[in-house]
Structure 1
């Protein structure tokens, strides 16, 4: 088995909890936080997790960077899909005032003891690049993104001395 295959095998069996960032470094707001607080976080982040409150940390929703267009547009300029009129009310001018007014409630989650392979399969199946990591009580304990997974795989490759060649096989790196 080559270096890349070994790195992938190790990578796939890792727990997502071993890769997730510390909770204090994640973009999190309480559901009653003002939209302005959400916008401040989204200046530098691609998403914001919404929890019931910072003590209990029960995951309630997610606000993505791209969702902010609906928040900033007047309600008459947002497209409502059949059966989804809620986007009309996710505008500040439509009455949205706090995080819970604009969050997506159907958040994809994964348990903290799940493997990287489990996370990758779920991301591919649902075409998402980030998953909330929750404990058995639905409390937000972390996140795992495709970017984090790429970083971790590259770290494993470097530690194992594996290098890509033009044909995708692996070889030992040699120091000169």
Structure 2
């Protein structure tokens, strides 16, 4: 299998076929305390926030980088129009639960979308992870790491050789 052919089949894979099982993903409920969120973020780059484990309705995402806002005191956020949400996200500003600090505007993609669709969306919005949703419910995720792993797996299986 040539690299071109491997990339072509890679691009046409649907996300449903490559996304990790829900149990393996970093997920907390909206009412989870911030300490449990921070514990997950020690080893993960993001945590999905859902309404409940039963309905899995996506509330938002907390990214590793967002922890800076959580840890800073409210006065460290220079007050500008539209910055009030960041002040509220501070632990000292009163944030106690996952839903208090979650970014509500989550980039999502359908489970029937292709790897190419996901890559195009990641590039357009300069993100490394997308929530895979179905009817507003979190069903999976796709990240650059998952895509790299899948491409390497395809190349190994197909025995493709990189040619100079």
| TM-score band, normalised by shorter chain | over 0.9
TM-score where L is the length of structure 2: 0.96
Question: 1:12-161 counterparts in 2 under 5 A?
Answer: 12-135=11-134, 137-161=135-159
In the alignment, the residues of structure 2 paired with residue 146 and residue 26 of structure 1 have an alpha-carbon distance, to the nearest angstrom, of 15
SS in structure 2 opposite 1:56? Answer: coil
Runs of 4+ residues deviating >3 angstroms: 79-82
Q: How many residues align?
A: 164
Q: Which residue of 2 aligns with 1:3?
A: 2
Q: Which residue of 2 aligns with 1:171?
A: none
The residue matched to 2:153 in structure 1 has which SS? Answer: helix
Normalising by the residue count of structure 1, what TM-score does the alignment of the two structures yield? 0.90
Aligned to 2:142, what secondary structure does the other structure show? strand
1:128–1:54: structure 2 CA closer, same or farther, 3 Å change rule? same
Q: Is the radius of gyration larger for structure 1 or structure 2?
A: 1
Shift of 1:84: 2.8
Give the deviation of 1:81 after TM superposition: 4.9
